[in-house]
Amino acid sequence: MTRRTERVAAAPPATQKTPIPDPQVAPATPAEPDPAPSAPAPVRHFEDVTELVVRTIEALDGEDVIGWAHDRVDPDTMGANGLFWYLLREKFGKTYTCFYSKRMSFLMNRSLATNFLPAGVLRRCEQTDNLAEVALKAQLIVILDATCPEIMTDFAHLIRRSKEVKSKPILFIDHHRRGSSDIEDLPNAIGVRSEEAQSTSAILVHVVRNLGLDLRGSDEGFRLAVVARAGIETDLIGVDEKAYAPSTRDALAYLDEVLGERGLEVLDRLKAIRHPTSWYRKLGEALAQVENYDTTIAVVGLGVIDDTGIVPFVANRLMEMIGFKTTIVFGLVYDRIEGQIISVDLDASGRSTQDTEIVLADLFHDIFFVTDQSGRKTSRGGGRSNMLLGDYSGAGASVPLDYWRQLHARSAEEKVQVLHRLAWPAEFLRMRHLLTQRIQTLKPEEVRSVVPVPAIEGL
């Protein structure tokens, strides 16, 4: 069931443009009738989303629209924002930039953003001057594929500091359920939450088509389809194909028509990107602890690292190489820009095939959180449960540890040393306690650190 923050009338049937011919397909002869399109027609279920987008954008005076995305944007967020950029330019003649915080985790995601999204669609907050001024000038802020303001770090800071930014008009489109702290809570937020949709990219595919736009026949459309297809696939991890929603099937069929065999080969190559050798070093350190793990679950801390992508990489490889039923990997990740440490986060990743014993989505939701000044806890972890045998359920978390980032040091190098010497032992012991309290079969000595922690050496 689709839930909206306001009632919207159904849009009239969209007038479709003549499809752009596929250059690889020979045109029909004049004596033959025009062939029916092989891709399904746009689904009427999403016409309320389309109507809301049209009405909201047409009410704007200026040409610039900005968006905000959750930290470390993933392919579904990228696909949705790429398609939104496209429809704004093609249908309304407007420009669009979406801001996000923190470096992306996966190499495939970084390649998608660099090589397939049009230049300027995504812009990292930490590399943007006068971010508050940008937000204050915006007539509209668009938020796609996010529910909680707290998972948009810089946006959350802005709305806490500025009543003007908090009161800005916001348009959101999402497929996640409403959270305890949600975009809908902001005073001027309107939008559509379609919980039966399986990705936000799929929703935007239908909106684009309802507006009479077509990705076929251009290199730009092909690249956007690559990102959107990757976005839908990512959100379908752990979902059996039989459980795909009809709207998801329709979106995938259309994107496959845009991509053809060449596009599917591109996606396969993106998934097989080679990882840096430094990542394999951490994997080797985690594998060296193999005799110390529980026989079914491997829980390991990687110490202080400078690339968040290492965390899910090690979690996946432990599952594949050793055959644990569950892996939980965490590390203290710092990010540096122009010689300054701009963030310190506790990042975690989990994979599991034993959902009946350890539900990672619930576990990560409960133990990875931030606490605001009023004492309210906001989860910074969660995932996707999967009850289908043969697949992994997944969970992830990224908790900002500002008290370590703000610790005074004479240089970035000195601060990194402080993280190694002081921060990691403290955070590792805290995580070991939380995990063993929640997983009753897990013993403290089975939660391992790949680097020495003075308080527990010899375990």
C-alpha distances (whole Å) from 284 to each of 277, 318, 421, 450 are 11, 10, 22, 9
Contact 60, 29 (CB under 8 A): no
Which two tokens mark 380? 């910074």
In the chain, the number of structural domains is: 2
CATH code for the domain in which residue 229 is found:
3.90.1640.10
Which residues constitute the domain of residue 335?
278-456
Using the 3D structure, point to which of 210, 240, 271 is the last residue of a domain.
271
For the entire predicted model, the pTM comes to: 0.77
Q: Which of 273, 266, 236 is nearest to 251 (CA)?
A: 236
Q: Which of 68, 229, 38, 35 is nearest to 145 (CA)?
A: 68
Which DSSP category does 243 fall into? G
Task: Judge if 263 and 321 occupy the same domain.
Answer: no
Task: Judge if 313 and 186 occupy the same domain.
Answer: no
Report yes or no on 32 lying in a domain. no
Measure the CA–CA gap between 114 and 39, rounded to whole angstroms: 29
DSSP three-state, residue 293: coil
Task: Judge if 264 and 327 occupy the same domain.
Answer: no
Report yes or no on 327 lying in a domain. yes
DSSP labels, 144-184 = ES---GGGSHHHHHHHHH-HHHHTS-EEEEE-SPP-SS-GG
- pLDDT tens across 266-312, in order? 999 998 888 889 999 999 999 999 999 998 999 999 999 999 999 99
Contact 325, 354 (CB under 8 A): yes
Which DSSP category does 276 fall into? P
- pLDDT tens across 2-45, in order? 444 543 333 333 333 333 333 333 333 333 334 444 454 444 57
**pLDDT at residue number 357:** 72
- pLDDT tens across 320-347, in order? 899 898 999 999 999 988 888 889 999 9
Using the 3D structure, point to which of 246, 271, 296 is the last residue of a domain.
271
Contact 348, 368 (CB under 8 A): yes
DSSP labels, 237-286 = TT--GGG--HHHHHHHHHHHHHHHHHHHHHHHHHHTPPPPHHHHHHHHHH
**pLDDT at residue number 257:** 95
Using the 3D structure, point to which of 216, 236, 271 is the last residue of a domain.
271
Task: Judge if 130 and 251 occupy the same domain.
Answer: yes
Q: Which of 68, 108, 101, 107 is nearest to 84 (CA)?
A: 68
- Which is higher by pLDDT, 112 or 323? 112
